[in-house]
Amino acid sequence: MPPQAPDLAAAAQRLVTEARARLAVGRAALFLRRPDSTLVCVATAGQGDETAWVGQALRAGVGVAGRTVAEGRPVWSPDLLADPRIPVSPWLRERLLAEGLRSVLAAPLPAAAGTLGALGVLDGAGRAYTEVETRLLADLARAAAPAIEAAWPPSGPVPDRP
């Protein structure tokens, strides 16, 4: 499958790098919605193997990113692996355990036709995200959404896993 468009790759990488730095977290990831409502990770920043994230998909409503898109608002969990409200896909569970990430906050990327995807930050267990941090992440997502939307080809080539 062809790689993602350079404009999308550059804009997405800038966004996750900035989110990780500004919120001082272990990892940031950007998930965008496909026409079938699954979310695909298009960029990530953090320690460890980034290739284990990019191209992975979440079904609608799965993970904090999936809940954020479904609800159209920021969602967070202090320990995603122990949170009975939020289902976690097997690949995500594996990544969280491998990287010691448990606390997750995600904000929606608003678009004219609905929510484009979710920007998420992940850190160690028990981290409580403040109102200020939640607003900061939501503001980053909102500010980046037009550039991401312009570059996102929801029916074109995107990273994928078989």
Length of the chain (residues): 162
**What would you measure as the largest C-alpha separation in the chain, in angstroms?**
40
- Among left, alpha and beta (phi > 0; psi -120 to 50; other), residue 102 is alpha
SS3 category, 143: helix
Question: Measured on CA atoms in the order 119, 124, 127, 133, is the torsion positive or negative?
Answer: negative
Q: Which two tokens stand for residue 108?
A: 């929606």
Q: How confident is the model at residue 159 (pLDDT cuts 50, 70, 90)?
A: very low
Q: Give the domains, in start order, of the chain with CATH numbers.
A: 6-151 (3.30.450.40)
Q: Which amino acid is at 52?
A: A
Q: What is the pLDDT of residues 56-69, one digit of tens each?
A: 999 989 999 999 99
Distance CA 26, CA 23 (A): 9
Q: How confident is the model at residue 155 (pLDDT cuts 50, 70, 90)?
A: very low
How high does pLDDT run on average in the chain?
89
Residue 2: pLDDT over 60: no
Burial 114-123 (b: 16+ CB within 10 A, else e): ebbbbbbbbb
∠ CA 77-49-154, nearest 5°, is: 70
Contact between residue 117 and residue 139 where contact means Cβ atoms under 8 Å apart: no
pTM to 2 decimal places: 0.90
Q: What is the pLDDT of residues 68-115, one digit of tens each?
A: 999 999 999 999 999 999 999 999 999 999 999 999 999 999 988 889
More confident residue, 62 or 47: 62
Residue 30: pLDDT over 80: yes
Contact between residue 118 and residue 132 where contact means Cβ atoms under 8 Å apart: no
